[in-house]
């Protein structure tokens, strides 16, 4: 949540900051702001709302800033204080010479604020960040050195932060530091970038340094010094980044979400390419660092995740238990971390996260690691903080996902779970060879089946149009597709703000059925398999209460024509793999409904792509 950027070099800084912030808009879009060095002064510009408002705010000042080559910027997802100009970053000390941008939460800001007020500091905002500006400025009074002041101040700060700081008395210098929040430095010739995430500077350089917690980097155009807060010098380790700038284009689609939905067949192919060659050959999963003996003896798995990743985890549980006969617990990370859990060195802990940054999951993973569990991370960001905690790292390689609503990263997580479950089943010998072979064969043809769904998306669009006026939506399913119902409902909620809920179909009659009448759409996920007839009966019960019935099915059963008002048909697939097929129409329904309603599909209100606060 929140994104920060910084630049020091020889190029005009304005476009670098604004382009960088644009690439970080997925992290928040409540307000934005920049501070730039203009001769001996630091000038600050801010605006509420999306970045385009800041661009408008800046346009009359473009000439006066045009020569500036040093600056910092911020895009905000509000935590402390409403999204107003006053609360927008950068924040300044009272003399206006020191400016700071911050991602994270200063947990002891109230105590710090009281103390600073007694020393004469006047606070203007409701933010926790403003305390950092005053605190560092106080230390600067003593040290007359920005780096030293930052080191002293961070010793008093509790919480999570990535900070970029400038002081007009030390022009063309940037000091950055971090603790439990991401910060990466981009290295080019006679210029340095700093950002919460690499898309902010990847088009300028692919050479990067990941700062560790409690390290402080001081940058001018041609010098970089990294030290810890006690002053020990750290040798910078430059890494070459894998990301391509082209990944950030919409490639002709109206929204990133639609583009990312269409990328899903290739995402699956990319994951399978060097892991599943044919149905007869064993799965290759060198990323799993547990020995075969340990895997055979494993008697418990704990999966932790949030949001869409949590839904992938529920399906992971279902298939690992079915294929490998190992008990699996799944829990939302935010619940897991505040109770006494019993993971230990005999438990495999799997953390699932698209961003690899989600604070709750990261904390849960760290807790489990401390208790000696083997940590397997499934993430789309092999460069993330969570990946760095992994003993085994399954990088899903879905490419950068820009839309806040996760789509292709979900399919990639599911595909990785299937590979993992099948791999463990092969080692443990818990599946009949013909079933195993058939599932592997079916996995290899999944991309074509998704392509068929995408080729018939007009029918799904018609469905979305028909139901776009509704205020509520119910999704029902059973068994392996119950998490699909949850995920379909989450997608719709997130981007259309319609009150959508996923239920196990058998639970309908235990309460939710009271809500059904002729205004309520009920979407039944009816995949052929062991619970097909049961869901059909549950759908009959809903129809009897006059609900508006929609089927998502791979059955050609004629009975469905009388029962359902709208039918979306998808290709046949083994029930055990059906979640990968069933989710695609649900993503498209959510997308088209949001689009019909004129919502901001890629950047829905109140959300951010990576949630770095607990
Ligand atoms: O990056 P993560 O997968 O850890 O993020 C978890 C959730 O915040 C995320 O899945 C969220 O629910 C998405 N907006 C879903 O579309």
> Residue 218 belongs to a domain with what CATH number?
3.60.20.10
Rounded to the nearest whole angstrom, what is the distance from the C-alpha of residue 610 to the centroid of ligand 1? 7
Q: Taking residues 148-157, what's their average pLDDT?
A: 97
Q: What is the CATH number of the domain that holds 348?
A: 3.40.50.10490
Ligand 1 atom closest to 308 (CA): 10
> Looking at residue 225, what DSSP letter applies?
E
In the chain, helix, strand, coil percent, each to 5?
40, 20, 35
Binding site membership of 404 for ligand 1 (Cβ less than 6 Å): yes
Query: For 453-495, how does the pLDDT look when each residue is reduced to its tens digit (9 = 90+)?
Result: 999 999 999 999 999 999 999 999 999 999 999 999 999 999 9
Q: Is pLDDT of 243 > 80? A: no
Q: How far apart are CA 347 and CA 371, in angstroms?
A: 10
Three-class SS state of 84? coil
CA dihedral sign of residues 353, 358, 360, 364: positive
Q: How far apart are CA 213 and CA 236, in angstroms?
A: 14
Query: Do 302 and 280 share a domain, yes or no?
Result: yes
pLDDT value of residue 196? 93
pLDDT band at 348 (very low <50, low <70, confident <90, very high): very high
pLDDT value of residue 529? 95
Query: Do 292 and 237 share a domain, yes or no?
Result: no
pLDDT value of residue 298? 85
Question: Of the candidates 211, 246, 281, which is a domain's last residue?
Answer: 246
Q: How far apart are CA 485 and CA 482, in angstroms?
A: 5
| Range 452-475 burial, b when 16+ CB lie within 10 A, else e | ebbeebeebbebbeebbebeebbb
Q: Taking residues 188-201, what's their average pLDDT?
A: 94
pLDDT value of residue 610? 74
Query: Do 444 and 510 share a domain, yes or no?
Result: no
Pocket test for ligand 1, best of 305, 307, 310, 360 (most atoms within 8 A of CB): 307
pLDDT value of residue 247? 56
Query: Do 316 and 388 share a domain, yes or no?
Result: yes
The residue whose CA is least distant from atom 7 of ligand 1 is 307
Q: Is pLDDT of 245 > 70? A: no
Query: Do 63 and 209 share a domain, yes or no?
Result: yes
Binding site membership of 308 for ligand 1 (Cβ less than 6 Å): yes
Beta strands 328-332 and 374-379, pairing class: unpaired
- Taking a C-beta distance cutoff of 8 angstroms, is the pair 353, 305 a contact? yes
Tell me the residue range of the domain where 474 lies.
456-596
Query: For 95-124, how does the pLDDT look when each residue is reduced to its tens digit (9 = 90+)?
Result: 999 999 999 889 899 999 999 999 999 999
Q: Among candidates 397, 394, 353, 344, which has minimal Cα distance to 371?
A: 344
**157: which residues sit within 8 A by CB, 6+ positions away?**
106, 108, 112, 132, 135, 179
Active site residue 609: yes
Query: Do 527 and 416 share a domain, yes or no?
Result: no
Tell me, yes or no, whether 333 lies in a domain.
yes
Higher pLDDT, 184 or 26: 184
Query: For 14-64, how does the pLDDT look when each residue is reduced to its tens digit (9 = 90+)?
Result: 999 999 999 898 888 899 999 999 988 999 999 999 999 999 999 999 888
Tell me, yes or no, whether 613 lies in a domain.
no
**Domains identified in the chain, total number:** 3
pLDDT band at 346 (very low <50, low <70, confident <90, very high): confident
Q: How far apart are CA 586 and CA 489, in angstroms?
A: 8
Helix or strand run (H / E) with residue 316: helix 307-324
Question: Of the candidates 435, 453, 471, which is a domain's last residue?
Answer: 453
Q: Round the average pLDDT of the chain to a whole number and report it.
A: 94
Q: Is pLDDT of 213 > 80? A: yes
pLDDT band at 205 (very low <50, low <70, confident <90, very high): very high
Owner of token pair 């083997």: 374
pLDDT value of residue 400? 85
CA dihedral sign of residues 328, 431, 353, 595: negative
Tell me, yes or no, whether 609 lies in a domain.
no
Structure tokens at 117: 């007020």
């Amino acid at each position: 949540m929140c994104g920060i950027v910084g630049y020091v070099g020889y190029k005009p800084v304005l476009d670098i900051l604004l382009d960088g912030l644009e690439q970080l808009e997925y992290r928040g879009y409540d307000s934005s702001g920049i501070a730039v060095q203009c001769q001996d002064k630091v000038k600050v510009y801010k605006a509420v709302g999306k970045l385009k408002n800041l661009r408008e705010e800046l346009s009359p000042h473009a000439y006066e800033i045009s020569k500036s080559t040093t600056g910092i910027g911020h895009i905000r997802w509000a935590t402390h204080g409403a999204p107003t100009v006053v609360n927008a970053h950068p924040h300044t000390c009272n003399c206006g010479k020191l400016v700071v941008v911050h991602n994270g939460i200063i947990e002891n800001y109230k105590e710090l604020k009281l103390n600073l007020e007694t020393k004469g500091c006047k606070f203007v905002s409701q933010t926790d960040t403003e305390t950092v500006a005053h605190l560092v400025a106080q230390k600067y009074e003593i040290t007359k050195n920005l780096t030293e002041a930052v080191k002293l101040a961070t010793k008093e700060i509790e919480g999570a932060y990535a900070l970029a700081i400038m002081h007009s008395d030390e022009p063309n210098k940037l000091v950055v530091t971090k603790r439990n929040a991401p910060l990466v430095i981009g290295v080019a010739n006679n210029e340095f970038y700093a950002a919460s995430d690499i898309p902010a500077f990847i088009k300028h350089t692919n050479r990067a340094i990941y700062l560790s917690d409690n390290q402080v980097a001081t940058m001018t155009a041609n010098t970089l010094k990294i030290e810890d807060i006690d002053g020990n010098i750290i040798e910078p380790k430059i890494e070459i980044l894998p990301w391509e700038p082209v990944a950030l284009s919409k490639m002709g689609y109206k929204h990133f979400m639609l583009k990312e939905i269409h990328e899903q067949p290739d995402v699956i192919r990319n994951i399978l390419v060097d892991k599943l060659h044919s149905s007869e050959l064993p799965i290759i999963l060198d990323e799993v660092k547990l020995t075969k003996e340990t895997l055979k003896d494993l008697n418990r798995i704990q999966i932790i995740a949030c949001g869409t990743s949590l839904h992938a985890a529920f399906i992971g549980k279902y298939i690992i238990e079915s294929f490998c006969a190992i008990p699996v617990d799944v829990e939302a990370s935010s619940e897991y971390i505040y109770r006494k859990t019993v993971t230990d060195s005999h438990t495999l802990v799997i953390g699932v996260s698209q961003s690899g940054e989600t604070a709750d999951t990261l904390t849960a993973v760290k807790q489990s690691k401390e208790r000696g569990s083997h940590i397997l991370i499934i993430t789309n960001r092999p460069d993330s903080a969570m990946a760095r905690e992994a003993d085994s790292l399954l990088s899903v390689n879905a490419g950068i996902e820009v839309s806040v609503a996760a789509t292709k990263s979900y399919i990639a997580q599911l595909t990785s779970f299937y590979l993992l479950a099948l791999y463990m089943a092969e080692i443990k010998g818990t599946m009949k060879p013909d079933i195993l072979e058939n599932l592997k064969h079916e996995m290899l043809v999944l991309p074509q089946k998704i392509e068929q769904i995408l080729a018939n998306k007009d029918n799904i669009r018609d469905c979305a149009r028909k139901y776009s006026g509704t205020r509520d939506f119910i999704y029902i399913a059973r068994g392996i597709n119950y998490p699909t119902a949850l995920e379909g409902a989450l997608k719709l909620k997130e981007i259309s703000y319609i009150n959508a809920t996923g239920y196990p179909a058998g639970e309908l009659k235990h309460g939710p059925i009271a809500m059904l009448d002729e205004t309520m759409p009920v979407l039944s996920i009816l995949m052929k398999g062991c619970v097909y007839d049961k869901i059909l009966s549950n759908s009959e019960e809903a129809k009897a209460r006059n609900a508006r019935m929609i089927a998502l099915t791979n059955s050609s059963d004629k009975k469905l024509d009388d029962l359902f008002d709208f039918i979306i048909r998808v290709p046949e697939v083994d029930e055990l793999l059906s979640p990968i097929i069933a989710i695609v129409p649900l993503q498209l329904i959510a997308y088209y409904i949001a689009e019909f309603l004129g919502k901001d599909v890629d950047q829905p209100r109140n959300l951010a792509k990576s949630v770095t606060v607990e």
